[in-house]
Amino acid sequence: MEYSPHDEALIEAKWQELVEECRKHKICKREDDWQFVKRAFFLAKEAHKGVRRRSGEPYIIHPIEVALIAVREIGLGKKSVVAALLHDVVEDTDYTVEDIARIFTPKIASMVDGLTKIAGVFDSHNSEQAEYFRKVLLTLSDDVRVIIIKIADRLHNMRTLGYMPLDKQIKITSETIYLFVPLAYRLGLHAIKSELEDLCMKYRFPKEYEQIRQKIEETEPERQHYIDRFMAPIKEVLDRNGFQYEMKARVKSIYSIWNKMRRKEIPFEEVYDLFAIRIVFKTLPFPSEKTQCWQVYSCVTDIYTPKPDRLRDWISIPKSNGYEALHSTVMGPDGIWVEVQVRTERMDDIAERGFAAHWKYKHASITQEEDGLDKWLRKVREALSGNAENAQEFLDNFKLSLYKTDVVVFTPKGEPQTLPYGATVLDFAYEIHTKIGHHAIGAKINHRIAPVTTRLNSGDQIEVITAENAHPKAEWLDAVVTSKARQAIQDYLKGERQNNIEYGMQLLSDRLAEHNVMLSGRVLRKLMPAYECKNKDELYSKIGAGIIQLDNIDKLLKENTSRKILKFWKLFMPGVSNTEADDIDLEDEALSLEEQAMEELSDHHSHESDFQIAECCEPIPGDNVVGFRDPKSGRIVVHKSTCDTLIRLAAQYGKNVIRDEIRWSQHKAVSYLVTLELYGLDRPGILLDLTKLVTTYFSINMRAIALQSHDGIFEGTLSLYVTDIDTLNRLLEDMRKIKGVEQVRRLMNT
């Protein structure tokens, strides 16, 4: 199909836009470079001829847009532009990776291959998305630019998401918030991270998005007036001291405002840190860059008093994604706290453009020492070479490496180690060496003995204590947050468990042989419930580990059979007495009755709804909900649309998301359990007022109430049954009117 004149004009305009950006950023320095990029454009244009996106525009517009993002918003070079233009050619057309290598270069072919979407048959136990993510991330071991272009590809797809059907929007936004947003953060692409978050919110929660957008717009004149007042004296001092700088206000993203409103359960009007002041200055040859930052900081704090506990020095120790800046919160006019950020032009470039800018300055530097971002990439490559048996396990472990907050701790010799917030002694031990982690029994933190599960704080100095006979335990998995530690523990436990399974199976077979009994499925069906094991591997593993002793197996087998027969005869043949049931000794008959019971129970439940309320978020009628069909049971689990668990599931099993068919039924007066968290100023009679409101005025049944009072403050929880969200909202509104109650909010299970 040929392009229409309108199509040709649209394509040419977009291509010229890319050409201008390449010239502006000096992407193509020689005529050969231009021919290289042009060849990619014309090949992609020809390959995608006649294909249109859901928006109706020619498909070639998409790869051009991705290339524009790579140049304009990230600052990637010529090879990345060519790879972006060709990123869908191999997947969607007859061209092969070998064709790309022949026409361009093997490096370009390798990048395009990494960018090609994964297709094919997946392991039935893995989600398609998890396997896709794993294979895409494997390209990190070769060329990180592939991941950056993939993020640019996702950004343009998110910008045009409005043309997609609702179920696709849920799947794509869940994938984006689950993995692509943390990846963008970790690679330092702050502007792209914020836009992806806002776009996810725009399509998932359009009403809330529009409300916040309008309020930001409505309050702009008043906010700008205050910002001008705040900045005026700082400008005067900076000018007097001869700094060349740019100072501007940065308004929080809509998503971050919404997140804060949800987290603190406050209205828009109570979000006081809506903006931050950013000072970006041009450095002089002398003194050092770091010293000049502190000089600018000093100019600010000479005018406004800083809040001592809100100074963040990411110049002395940059964030692990390469971010450098000084952040301080100062008391501005009218008693309002304002955050001020101080950066050099180099720091600002890295903060906005991320990895690409980081790499540019690194190569321009004399030193080639490994920095925070290099260390993270090395850790990612280590994680990618791990022994995760399935894609989901890999993805869960990998996400741990996308942490957002760091702590800096020290070895006994004073060497710094950067770990994620929440890291424990075990994380530190495995960071030093896997063998040290495996044999850790404790630590000295700042010269005081502490358990291996102790959480670490910035500035801690740690000496790990080891013992040769110590080994990883399953409960250690709950105490680590780094992917390296988790993977090492899982690998050890898998090997240990497999050994225990084999040993336990042999022990059980030998013991049964002593009683002339063969190991069989029938025997296992008796033993598993007796030993409270969910499956045979758990039974074998516990026997092999010595947790289960087999001294009473002879007695157990007999008792188990008798008890099971009695249970089923009494259930399904009520006329049979206990004595008669005790006389029945036919195991086959008992098993037959068990199967019959299961069939009857199945028939009994076959008329019940296939819907199940999610325990993670406990939605109630009126909540905005989304259905998710469980891959194993087939039942539809109903989640709140804001549920973190739903986001994770939708990212991994996007095709199982159900939206349109999920509606609350109004014909059943069913009560749903909710838990409220309360706190406020204690006074005599406040508990009576609360219970009276709930039980008398609202006629709501309470399941439990637990309030504690200390130093004139009360706090606690209240569990009750409600029929819908409207009733709950009216109750919450009236509770907040009770004297002394400062805050009431609905708790979600996590």
Please name the residue that has the structure tokens 């084999």: 502
Q: How far apart are CA 736 and CA 732, in angstroms?
A: 6
| CA–CA distances in Å: residue 30 to residues 18, 25, 43, 325 | 17, 13, 21, 36
Find residue 420's DSSP bridge partners. 406
Containing H/E element for 637?
strand 636-640
Angle between helices 106-115 and 78-85 (to 10 degrees): 50
33, 92, 273, 463: which is the annotated catalytic residue? 92
Strand partners, 409: 417
Closest CA to 566 of 552, 555, 577: 577
* 91 given a catalytic annotation: yes
Whether residue 452 contacts residue 440, with contact meaning beta carbons closer than 8 Å, is answered with: yes
d(CA 239, CA 290): 20
Alpha-carbon gap, residue 152 to 160, rounded angstroms: 13
Q: How many CA atoms lie within 13 A of 60 on its CB side?
A: 22
CA angle 510–512–516, rounded 5-degree value = 110
Told to judge if 273 belongs to the known catalytic residues of this protein, a careful annotator would answer: no
CA separation, residue 603 to residues 572, 590, 595, 631, 632 (Å): 15, 20, 12, 22, 20
Question: Which one, of 463, 460, 462, 488, lies nearest residue 476 by Cα?
Answer: 488
CA angle (400 as vertex; 425, 151 as ends), nearest 5 = 150
| Interatomic CA distance for residues 347 and 344, integer angstroms | 5
> What's the full length of the chain, in residues?
750
Q: Beta 440-445 vs 462-466: how paired, if at all?
A: antiparallel
CA distance linking residue 66 with residue 81, whole number of Å: 8
**3-state secondary structure string across 658-704:** ECCCCCCCCCCCCCEEEEEEEEEECCCCHHHHHHHHHHHHCCCCEEE
Tokens of residue 116, six digits:
């090609």
Preceding peptide of 287 cis, ω within 30°: yes
| DSSP run (H or E) holding 720 | strand 713-722
- Give me 286's structure tokens: 């002398």
Annotated active-site residue in 8, 20, 91, 228: 91
Render 194-243 in DSSP notation, one character per residue.
Answer: HHHHHHHHHHHSHHHHHHHHHHHHHTHHHHHHHHHHHHHHHHHHHHHTT-
CB atoms within 10 A of CB 446: 12
DSSP 8-state class, residue 470: -
Contact criterion met (CB below 8 Å) for 698 and 676: no
Active site (catalytic) residues = 91-92
